[in-house]
Amino acid sequence: MTVHRIVQRMRMWRLARLVVFAVFVVAAGTASVGPQTHMQFGHPAAAATASLTGDDGSTVPPATVTSTSADANRCPFGAFCIYTGPGFSGARFELFACQNYTLINFQGIDGSWDNNQTSGTQAKFKNGNLDVILTTRGAHSQLAHFDYTNIAQVRPC
């Protein structure tokens, strides 16, 4: 199967999930979302326990959001950020060090990522066999919906 065909299938599944989600939201009525909350696809329980561990044994805690402004969850310059929710919402993990990070409890999460590193820096996503399956565009780049199901590691550089 070609890469183009795989990408097409991934897009079709994302579109199908988006349509199901939209129908759910319309059926549920108007949702009230307060500060530091988000709606997400996938498994909310997994998102609540998601974590990252670096090659050096360090654990990356989610960033603390201290403001309710729209820019409160923005990825800081120099970092590659992983979000547990779509549209740069949910818990934000800021990756600064150039090392492999193992994703824990990210299965089923429809999240997002923001590559706000120095210009041109590319991040790499790896599957369970540690094969690179996606290389991002150079910084600054971002993706508002990203399925982490087949991602085992990320290397921000």
Per-residue HEC secondary structure of the chain comes to CCHHHHHHHHHHHHHHHHHHHHHHHHHHCCCCCCCCCCCCCECHHHHHHCEEEECCCCEECCCCCCCCCCCCCCCCCCEEEEEEECCCEEEEEEECCCCCEEEECCCCEEEEEEEECCCCCCCEEECCCCCEEEECCCCCEEEEEEECCCCCEEECC
Range of the domain at 142: 37-155
The pTM of this model reads 0.65
pLDDT-based confidence at residue 53 (cuts at 50, 70, 90): confident
In this structure, are 26 and 88 located in the same domain? no
Question: Does one domain contain both 20 and 41?
Answer: no
Domain count along the chain: 2
pLDDT digits (tens, 9 = 90+) for 58-97: 777 777 655 445 565 789 999 999 999 999 988 899 999 9
- Looking at the fold, whether 6 and 51 belong to one and the same domain comes out as no
Same domain, 17 and 73: no
Q: How confident is residue 15, by pLDDT bands cut at 50, 70 and 90?
A: very low
The verdict on 15 and 44 lying in the same domain is no
